[in-house]
Amino acid sequence: MVLNSYAKLNLYLEVLNKRRDNYHNIKTIFERISLSDKIILKSRRDKKIKIICNYPRLPRDSSNLAYRAALLLQDSFKINKGIDIKIIKRIPVGSGLGGGSSNAAAILIGLNKLWGLNLTQSKLANLAENIGADVPFFIYNSPFAEGGGRGDKIKPLKVINNLRLWHILVVPKIEVSTALVYKKWDRLRQLTESNYDVKILILALKKRDLALMGKILLNNLERITVKLYPKLSRIKEKLIHLGLKSILMSGSGPAIFSVFSSRKEAVSLCRQLKREKKFWQVFVTRTI
């Protein structure tokens, strides 16, 4: 079985408070984008779960979310089969694009079919919550969704499902520690609170008002991540110098994206950015 495992962007990310379980409550708007990994599943007669990947630093054990997803289904439903999981990585690791979470969701969806479990989407989403906060979003076949709780309480935004945005995505060659970013947020919370309203962003998306959307894009982790990893400010300065306005970091970073209404405009600017590819990776991607 061959599966596409798509990345995500956060068009809005507001951290509300720290929870008793040491996670954080957030409000977010997820967008599923066309940048993707490819996953190939092959059944085994034994019960082993084997990860094969073209990215040498990717964990092959239970610290890998795809491995944990397979193990969760195997244990929960007493499956006496194993699986070879080949992951062809294209989503940069540790970038704030949800690659590991997307891989885990793809495994849940794929093995649900391959092992004939017949689990509903809702049941798969409930299982996904046990693996990681972003995993449930990828279970739903929805280009846009609102996320609450840890980001795991998903409400697909069906009213804007037919909207397609184009993006330039710039990913510097650094890996950000999400735990460190949130630890810093706990100390500096008073500096990152916002008066923005996620409902206004949803309305702007519904009306396809990109000018309004650009003003409401929010990530109150961005200031903290840039302070911890100053190289990110250079990317933002470059994008601003090129005349871009709708610029935001995704998740805890370091991926930074800009919003366009057409592929032509995005491709043109992408060529200019790729001249400095030794510092970062650049992608043109769209809503999918």
Same domain, 206 and 230: yes
CA distance 8 to 28: 12
Same domain, 155 and 170: no
Quick check: 96 and 255 in contact, CB under 8 A? yes
| Residue where a domain stops, chosen among 159, 179, 202 | 159
pTM of the model: 0.95
Amino acid at 235: I
Contacts of 253 (CB under 8 A, 6+ apart): 95, 96, 176, 181, 221, 222, 225, 226, 229, 232
Count of structural domains, the chain: 2
CATH of residue 8's domain is: 3.30.230.10
Same domain, 264 and 187: yes
Burial of 100 (0-12, 13-18, 19+ CB in 10 A): buried
CATH of residue 274's domain is: 3.30.70.890
* Residue 72 DSSP SS3: helix
* Residue 139 DSSP SS3: helix
Same domain, 149 and 190: no
**Residue 112: CA count within 13 A, CB half-sphere:** 19
Which residues are bridge partners to 8 per DSSP?
32
Burial of 115 (0-12, 13-18, 19+ CB in 10 A): middle
Same domain, 115 and 173: no
Same domain, 130 and 181: no
Same domain, 15 and 143: yes
Amino acid at 7: A
CA distance 4 to 36: 6
Please state whether the peptide bond connecting residue 254 to the residue before it is cis, i.e. omega within 30 degrees of 0: yes
Amino acid at 35: L
Considering 134, 152, 184, 236, which one is annotated as catalytic? 134
Same domain, 135 and 34: yes
| Residue where a domain stops, chosen among 159, 190, 208 | 159
Can you say whether the dihedral through the CA atoms of 179, 228, 196, 261 is positive or negative?
Answer: negative
Q: What is the pLDDT tens value at each position of the chain, 288 positions in all?
A: 999 999 999 999 999 999 999 999 999 999 999 999 999 999 999 999 999 999 998 999 999 999 999 999 999 999 999 999 999 999 999 999 999 999 999 999 999 999 999 999 999 999 999 999 999 999 999 999 999 999 999 999 998 989 999 999 999 988 898 999 999 999 887 555 556 789 999 999 999 999 999 889 999 999 999 999 998 999 999 999 999 989 999 999 999 999 998 999 999 999 888 776 677 999 999 999
Same domain, 145 and 187: no
According to DSSP, residue 191 is labeled G
| Residue where a domain stops, chosen among 159, 193, 216 | 159
Q: Is 8 a catalytic residue?
A: yes
Same domain, 90 and 198: no
Same domain, 68 and 115: yes
Residues of the domain holding 259: 166-286
Q: Is 134 a catalytic residue?
A: yes
* Residue 88 DSSP SS3: strand
Same domain, 48 and 78: yes
